[in-house]
Structure formats: structure tokens, C-alpha cells
Structure 1
Amino acid sequence: MSDRSGIFAGDDPYAIAQRWLGEAEATEINDPNAIAIATVDADGLPNVRMVLLKDIEGRDMPSGGAFVFYTNYGSAKAREIEQAGKAAFVMHWKSLRRQIRVRGLVEREEGPQADEYYASRSLKSRLGAWASRQSEPLSSRTALMAEVAKVTASHGPNPKRPPFWGGFRIKPLEIEFWADGAFRLHDRFRWRRQTLADEWEISRLNP
């Protein structure tokens, strides 16, 4: 499109997303990689929560391009993702006045890449992943800390990645890049495809 220039320029949406995230890392005070991820439960009731995006895989990667985050597979979000096979998220950077919206299909990442990321986390975070039964009722913080002490004693200073903890890879069918415009006349470009094998169709949207 002739007017898709400046911050919107490029023929690879993953490269644009990587560029925007890189710029946000220089301006956002906290967690520039935070995303609000949305799922639906078995009754179709939506859920949304903040998680940290850990990788934007380019189109030259084996995945063909994807957005990756990690969580407990027993959590509500993970159960809902696996039931539907789909998810959506938005990244919003207040300092840049930009956002990226993504909708797509989801697959697990529980191989060497997940092991490598888990090993890069602090020891306390690794032990916390073992101790937390994410999204399940908890009687008290004291009970949680007792569980942390228990797994510390049993798993030692170099715990392996729990089998119930790993990544999800969102492979997009739709990506929208949004930037604030004067008088609320925002710029929006949507990249859309019907299947993962299709070419992207790019449209400018009304604000």
C-alpha cells in the first residue's frame, strides 16, 4: 500500500513487531514485553490476563513466524487455550502511543527451547514454577512458602523444567499495527490470512 510507510513500512509483520518492541524497550519503564492475552472458557466466557512475551520468531524460523510465552500448563489460561486451540493478545506501549493486536492458532513449545528459557530464569523463579499450582485455590501465603521450601529441598540448586510448565506459540492469522494519530484519527494496518499457508492481505482500517 502506497501510504504504508514510516513505522509501518516493511513486508514482514514479525520484523515490524520486533522493531516496535525494540523501540519500546528504550522508552517503557516496566515490562515492555507485557501482553494482555485473551482466551475463552468452555462456556464461551472470555478471560484476559497479563503475561510476558518472551520471543517473536521471524518468518525464517521453523515455526514460520510466531509469538511465544511461557506458563503453567495447569493454569486456567493454558486449559482454555488447549480446549480452543486459539488465543488473542494485545501489546500496548503508552510511551510510544502504539499497540499490536494478534489473533491466531496456538501450539505448545515444550522442547529444548522451553528448557533453555526455563534454565535462564532466576533460581527462585524456577523453584516457584515447581511450587505453584497456578490458578488453583490457595489456603494462605504461608502454605505457598512452605511448598517453596519443600521443592527447594527436593529439587536442589539446579531444578529441571517441570513437565507441567512450558511455552505456547501463537501463530497469527491476524496482526494489527496501531499508532496514535492527531484528533484521534489513528493509523491502523491489519495483516490477515485465512490459513497459515496463505499470503498476507494488508488493509488500512478506519480509526
Structure 2
Amino acid sequence: MDSAHLPGLRHSYEGEPLLESDMADDPVTQFTLWFADAVAAGLPEPNAMILATGSAGGRPSARTVLLKGFDERGFVFFTNYESRKGRDLAENPLACLLFPWHPIRRQVRVEGHAVRLPREDSAAYFHSRPYGSRIGAWASRQSAVVESREALDVRYRELAGRWPEDPPVPDFWGGFRVVPSEVEFWQGQTDRMHDRIRYRLTGGVGARDGWTRERLAP
């Protein structure tokens, strides 16, 4: 079978027209509205997003992470700074986020610069996590090769024994905020004539009122 053609996987999208006149003046307000729609629709993890990064040499990498907060300053997630994504962002702070809300025929793409959160913000979130997740952050040298699952479990038990109640915040763990320079809202339509509205920052990073809104061809 020709691998370029997969029978039975054709999809038809039908949605309300996405008009510029119906969109908010800034992308964070518009994202807030769409995120609420995704939650109301009962999507399993509406805050799941694909994070794409690139190394200093241009090698791309993508993975799914969880959005843990957003406001006019940007979109926040947490990770091990020594992981592959952490190393990529240290070398090349450009990042792209994608929210694939397929059941409601929508997706949102965010491009921008990733900056580390202040230490106190990362610590506040770390201490709000379940105990097991906090121990797990210490036990896993994220993206490193491990000898076996058993070795990983032994490491977890050792650390749980060291900190039976309140593990400290690892110095290699914390948050990133992706400060957007472009945000695209995609609404599926019939005949592949999808709606794409992009907000582009034209006033410079930090100029939150400097957004240009434009329609892109599908």
C-alpha cells in the first residue's frame, strides 16, 4: 500500500466562520475565550500543548507539556532545566507552542521567546505539587539515559526516604514563560477552506498594545 495515502482517514471540518470582527483586540484575551470553550467542551486535557524547540545547531525537537498558567506576559510551563528542552532553550530561546483542540475543530499556535521564571515563582509552584511529583522531579534526570526502570525506582525510594515530608526545590528545576510575538487561531472549515487569524506583535516585545491582526490563507 502506498504509505502516502491512508484510506478511511479523510476528515471534514465544519465550524462557525471565524471573522476578524468577532476577534478580541489582543491574542491573550482571545485565547482566554477559546480555552474556556475547550474546557466547557470536556476535552481531556485542554492545557496539553506541543512545545517545539531547536538546538543551537538548528536540530528540532517537539514534545507535549502542560500549560500551567497564562496572562498578558505569556504562557507558562515547568520542567527540568537539564532536560533536552531545557538545554535547547538555553542555547536558542525561540519556541513554538501548539494547542491541538481537534474535537472542537480548533488549534492555537504561539511563537515567541522563552524566559526562565523568577526562582520564587518556580518555588511557589513546586510546593503546590503533590508530594510524589516533587520527589519525582528529584529522582528523574530528565532526558538522560537510565540503566533500567528498577534503577529509577530505587532512586525514587532513596529520595523519598531522605525527604519523607517536604523535599526542597531542585536547583535544576523551574518554569519558563513563552513571551509571544505571534499567535495564530485556526478554525476548521469545509473543503479545506479553514479560517486562520494571526496576531503579530509590531510594537516590540513588551508593547502589549502593539498587535496587528491579519488573515492567512488556509
Q: TM-score, normalised by structure 2?
A: 0.86
Contact preservation (8 Å) 1:39, 1:87: yes
Instruction: Give, in angstroms, the shift of residue 136 of structure 1.
Output: 0.3
Consecutive unaligned residues in structure 2, runs of 5 or more: 1-18
CA distance in 1, matches of 2:169, 2:39: 28
Q: Structure 1: 5+ residue runs without aligned partners?
A: 60-64
Alignment of 1:57-206 (within 5 A): 57=71, 59=72, 65-194=73-202, 195-198=204-207, 199-206=210-217
Alignment partners' CA distance in 1, 2:169 and 2:112: 26
* Structure 1 match to 2:8: none
RCO higher in 1 or 2 (8 Å CA, sep ≥ 6)? Answer: 2
What's the offset of the Cα at 1:121? 1.3
Alignment of 1:20-31 (within 5 A): 20-31=34-45
Task: Assess, with a 3 A threshold, how the Cα gap between structure 1 residues 117 and 144 changes in structure 2: closer, same or farther.
Answer: same
Q: Is the 8 A contact 2:122 2:175 kept in 1?
A: yes
How far is the alpha carbon of 1:28 from its aligned partner?
4.1
1:20 partner amino acid: W
Please identify runs of 4+ aligned residues in structure 1 that moved more than 6 A. Answer: none
Letter in 2 for 1:15: T
| Number of matched pairs | 198
> What CA distance in whole angstroms lies between the structure 2 residues aligned with 1:110 and 1:206?
39
